[in-house]
Structure 1
Amino acid sequence: MVVIVGASIVPINRYYESSAEDLAFEAYNGLTRELKDRPKADVVVISSTYAELSTNSINLANKIASYLGHQGSAVMRVEAGESGGPAVYTAFSLIKSGIADSVLLIGVEKMADQHGKTIQEYMARGLNYKDYLAGIMPVHYAALMMRKYMEVYKVDYDYFVNWPVKMHSYAVENPMAMLKFKVTPQQVKDSSVISEPIRLYDTGARGDGAAVVLLTSEEVARKYSDDLAKLQSVKGSSGDLEVSTSAMAVRDLALKLGDSVRDYYVQVHDSYSVAAAIQLEDLGLLPRGRSLTELDSVEVNFEGGLKARGYPGGATAVYQLAEIYLQLTQKFKGRTTSKEKALVISTDDLMTVAYGAKVIRE
């Protein structure tokens, strides 16, 4: 059995004076204050997408492990776009297989030091080479997805406004959120057009941050904590980039996850409002073409989502897993779920990869 014994997050923001190592250290200190004993990790797994761009260096995993005092641990960095899901998958597999008894999973990202155009250009490298050379950005594909959704389900832009309005209302209750303010439907509609019909409030708020999760085997879990959550399973899938009302990777992931997700508290990867709708529908959580008008019927993204809690790039899935642990152990300081089970959905910006992690309260 794979057990989450502790987690800590740094609020997503713009930390111009802090390095990636500094942010990881802050999150790690938060974790150690909650544990009975200092972690002795067999493996340190780092999830980061923009390390080369933001730190102008490589070998980030060893640098952070050393900075945290984990000399002697095996170290690795795992990257797959902005999902972070592969790092969770790797950490889970190391424990489940018996290779390791303890894994320190760290998501860290530094984005604020770079100009927005630089980040956008770097993101475009995740597209195929011809698209990249043509100057196409991920948001352009997201705009096409939104247009397709509007055409198929006969909805207008007002439909998508529901998502950012709901996420900001949740973020107000979350002291760790980046954008702790409410927005009105009119404010969403009046925000800057990024790529028609996508507006500023349809996109995730990017920033710096770090999150740490300590995973262990059942045998050593209570050495560190009595507040435990079971990481029951982690599944992954991949697919083609589709301009569609559905995403191949998410559809396949839903099949691999098996049972209905309606019994779970769910976090989706809402890189764009249309991505939230597609994931909620591909998972079978809400009906197609109506998901964003029925948000009050489900428990999803109480933390504010990427939209308002903040979007820390490749660290996102580690933030999600940390927040789920805090939710299930009743340590989360914002709006909380009463459910005993939770599901993290982690994708890249355009949902060409998808990972799902099921967590159960112990």
Structure 2
Amino acid sequence: MEKVCLIGAGSTKYGKLEDSITDIALQASVDAIESAGISPKEIQAGYISNVFGIADKQVHLGPVIMSNLGIPEVPSLSIESACGSGSVSFREAYANVAAGFYDVILATGVEKVTHTGTEWTTTYFSYCSDFFYEGGAGASFPGLFASMARAYLSEFKATEEDLAKVAVKNHDNGLLNPKAHLRKKISVDDVLKSAVVASPLKLYDCCPFSDGASAVILCSEKFAKAHTKNYVEVIGSGRGGSPAALQGRDHITTIPSTKIAAQAAYKMAGITAKDVDFAEVHDCFTIAELVDTEDLGFFEKGKAVEAVREGRTKLNGDISINPSGGLKSKGHPIGATGIGQVAEVFDQLTGKAGERTVKDAKIGLTHNFGATGASCAVHIFRSV
């Protein structure tokens, strides 16, 4: 396979945005192109991740974005994989460069849903579940992750205060990210006193609905070396699946797709979890971060909660988890989230992360899944 590199990344602010889905996708795409120091004419393909384009009356996004970039003849593909759409789109772009089909690809993720209101947005999200067994039966994602949380608290003697510490840590990181949705310092007490959404999860245990877009430029190593000295290598890529409905799993305190994807990515990269300096993981709810970091191999089962208590996952701790603020603080525009994680890794490994920089980081990991982990992709990156 060809070596695959990143030479540019861009993002809009995440939050409630007034611009159309097309406009915010273009803003992020242009930002990434300018970051890479290339022209749109050099792009050979576009991979666009989006889930609810219908909410903004635009579902065929690929050709629209390519046309507005002045390259309507460039082929594009729109990809949907629920909340994991961005990482799946990135994986397909990676595979096409690695296979030698293209030298330069634009991967853009975008979502625009806040204008539909909480009721409709919640309804749209429920369509990402196994709707017959879950969404259609009244099991919302807060309810499903609350079931995971209750099982975890019981099995590993963790507490609601421990979950709250995850939220506090990610909000602290988000304060350092000018593009984060929720730039607000909170305390454990704030989390515990916030409204109960689905016990034991409270308002501050949950990520927000967000609009936003992120984009990255992938290319061959030859192209990267010809254009810049400041690029990042993609050294590992893995995907995995889980039973679509939570009830179909043997245990609900682990996500099988994460373990499968991580093992494949580590094997390709020739590293272990111990070699990773920081990770952007899918913390749609505070319980998810605990489960994720165990399934990724950073901690033994049931031990992530101890790491959080001891501050080992804080910025510049033993392993920095979600230096961007994660979904919890940075935000979760679901089609953009996986690409946004990659953009954060690019910024970290090329010295562009500002106050939230992970010191001396060489290897970063992204982890992004759809629904309750029915689909997942893990990617590993190294600075050059």
> TM-score, length-normalised on structure 1?
0.95
Note the alpha carbon deviations across 1:39-78, whole angstroms, 9 max, x for none.
32111100111112x2223211111111122211111101
1 CA distance for matches of 2:323 and 2:118?
Answer: 27
Could you tell me whether the CA contact under 8 Å between 2:238 and 2:260 is conserved in 1? no
Q: Equivalent residues in 2 for 1:187-198 (5 A)?
A: 187-198=190-201
Q: 2:171 aligns with which of 164, 168, 172?
A: 168
Match of 1:314 in 2: 335
Give the secondary-structure state (helix, strand or coil) at the position aligned to 2:321.
Answer: coil
Moved more, 148-157 or 26-35: 26-35
Could you tell me whether the CA contact under 8 Å between 1:175 and 1:333 is conserved in 2? no
Q: 1:302 aligns with which of 304, 323, 341?
A: 323
1 CA distance for matches of 2:57 and 2:224?
Answer: 37
- Within the alignment, does 1:289 sit opposite 2:297 as a pair? no
Match of 1:261 in 2: 273
Q: Equivalent residues in 2 for 1:3-152 (5 A)?
A: 3-16=5-18, 18-39=19-40, 40-52=42-54, 54-83=55-84, 84-128=86-130, 129-152=132-155
CA 12–168 in structure 1, closer or farther in 2 if over 3 Å, else same = same
2 CA distance for matches of 1:146 and 1:76?
Answer: 36
- Within the alignment, does 1:359 sit opposite 2:372 as a pair? no
CA 223–22 in structure 1, closer or farther in 2 if over 3 Å, else same = farther
2 CA distance for matches of 1:323 and 1:71?
Answer: 29
1 CA distance for matches of 2:302 and 2:38?
Answer: 49
Identity, in percent, stands at 25
Match of 2:315 in 1: none
| Partner amino acid, structure 2, of 1:38 | S
Deviation of the 1:134 alpha carbon: 1.7
2 CA distance for matches of 1:350 and 1:2?
Answer: 29
1 CA distance for matches of 2:137 and 2:371?
Answer: 19
CA RMSD of aligned residues (A): 1.5
Could you tell me whether the CA contact under 8 Å between 1:344 and 1:357 is conserved in 2? yes
Moved more, 37-46 or 83-92: 37-46
Give the secondary-structure state (helix, strand or coil) at the position aligned to 2:169.
Answer: helix
2 CA distance for matches of 1:330 and 1:305?
Answer: 19
Match of 1:247 in 2: 255
Unaligned regions of 5+ residues in structure 1, if any?
Answer: none
Could you tell me whether the CA contact under 8 Å between 1:271 and 1:349 is conserved in 2? no
- Within the alignment, does 1:156 sit opposite 2:159 as a pair? yes
Deviation of the 1:223 alpha carbon: 4.2
Give the secondary-structure state (helix, strand or coil) at the position aligned to 1:359.
Answer: strand
Give the secondary-structure state (helix, strand or coil) at the position aligned to 1:169.
Answer: helix
Note the alpha carbon deviations across 1:176-201, whole angstroms, 9 max, x for none.
21111210100000111111111111
1 CA distance for matches of 2:34 and 2:134?
Answer: 47
1 CA distance for matches of 2:187 and 2:166?
Answer: 11
2 CA distance for matches of 1:157 and 1:339?
Answer: 31
2 CA distance for matches of 1:108 and 1:7?
Answer: 14
| Partner amino acid, structure 2, of 1:221 | A
Match of 1:280 in 2: 293
Deviation of the 1:206 alpha carbon: 2.0
CA 322–344 in structure 1, closer or farther in 2 if over 3 Å, else same = same
Could you tell me whether the CA contact under 8 Å between 1:235 and 1:356 is conserved in 2? yes
